[in-house]
Amino acid sequence: MDTPKKVVALTFDDGPTGKTDSILAILDRTNVKATFFVTGKDLEKNRMQGQKIVSAGHQLGNHTYSHTRMVLKTMSYIKREIEKTDSLIRLTGYRDEILFRPPNGKKLFVLPYYLKQTNRKTIMWDVEPESYTEIASGSEAIMKQVLEKTRPGSIILLHPMNDGRNESVKAITGIVNGLKQRGYTFKTVTELFQYAEQ
Ligand SMILES: [Zn+2]
């Protein structure tokens, strides 16, 4: 997103899982509101974690129900994947706009049509440190990469809810402190779009 202002959004994909509490504790300590793109299947298993995310004031987004690729799927399959997850998100008590992020960043064929028909905003990202194995394996490297790549209006993607992503959890504090030192303010994705250049 383009903006001259030093605002940035921290987004977490997948889950909620048992790691929710530790992630929320870090965000609470650093006083940051983030955006969590959750899957319906995980939210169904971990409703309490979903409620905790919402009551702490973070944003919840829809990351489909089963996290399968949305390519070559029928309209009714896609509708079910998205609507079911929306319902589970509403059951947590979340009342704000529900943004959408496709699994694996793919949204070919039927999915874009459905998203357009239902007026959903699809949120991608521009800072993705975990896509490089050598960076993803160390919290220090993750932090450095994020500090180097972040620009005003950036959307940062991490997967701290997943098994094997403990280094991403560890990197959050450094990312937040480093970007704050550089003059950045953290926003939810919906808030970030209020800064978009017209
Ligand atoms: Zn995902």
Let me know if residue 1 belongs to a domain: no
Cα 68 to middle of ligand 1, angstroms:
9
Name the phi and psi angles at 76, rounded to 5: -70, -35
**pLDDT digits over 37-75, tens only?**
999 999 999 999 999 999 999 999 999 999 987 777 888
Neighbouring-strand partners of residue 136: none
Let me know if residue 2 belongs to a domain: no
Let me know if residue 80 belongs to a domain: yes
Residues around ligand 1, an ion, CB closer than 5 A: 13-14, 103
**pLDDT digits over 150-171, tens only?**
999 999 999 999 999 999 999 9
Residues marked active site are found at: 13, 159
pLDDT at 33 over 90: yes
Work out how many domains the chain is built from and give that number: 1
pLDDT at 198 over 60: no
Cα 14 to middle of ligand 1, angstroms:
5
Residue 60: which CATH number?
3.20.20.370
Let me know if residue 98 belongs to a domain: yes
Name the phi and psi angles at 194, rounded to 5: -70, -15
Cα 198 to middle of ligand 1, angstroms:
30
Q: Which residues contact 145 (CB under 8 A, 6 or more apart)?
A: 127, 129, 132, 135
Let me know if residue 50 belongs to a domain: yes
pLDDT band with cut points at 50, 70 and 90 for residue 1: confident
pLDDT band with cut points at 50, 70 and 90 for residue 106: low
pLDDT at 36 over 80: yes
Least confidently predicted of 21-25, 28-32, 48-52, 122-126: 122-126
SS3 at position 94: coil
Give the burial class of 15: count Cβ atoms within 10 A of its Cβ; 0-12 exposed, 13-18 middle, 19 or more buried: buried
Let me know if residue 198 belongs to a domain: no
Let me know if residue 90 belongs to a domain: yes
pLDDT band with cut points at 50, 70 and 90 for residue 119: confident
CA distance 35 to 187: 9
Which tops the pLDDT comparison, 92 or 198?
Answer: 92
Cα 93 to middle of ligand 1, angstroms:
23
| pLDDT score for 109 | 62
Let me know if residue 21 belongs to a domain: yes
Neighbours of 119 (CB within 10 A): 6
Give the range of the structural domain holding residue 62, as residue numbers without chain letter: 7-193
* Contact call for residues 114 and 78 (beta carbons, < 8 A): yes
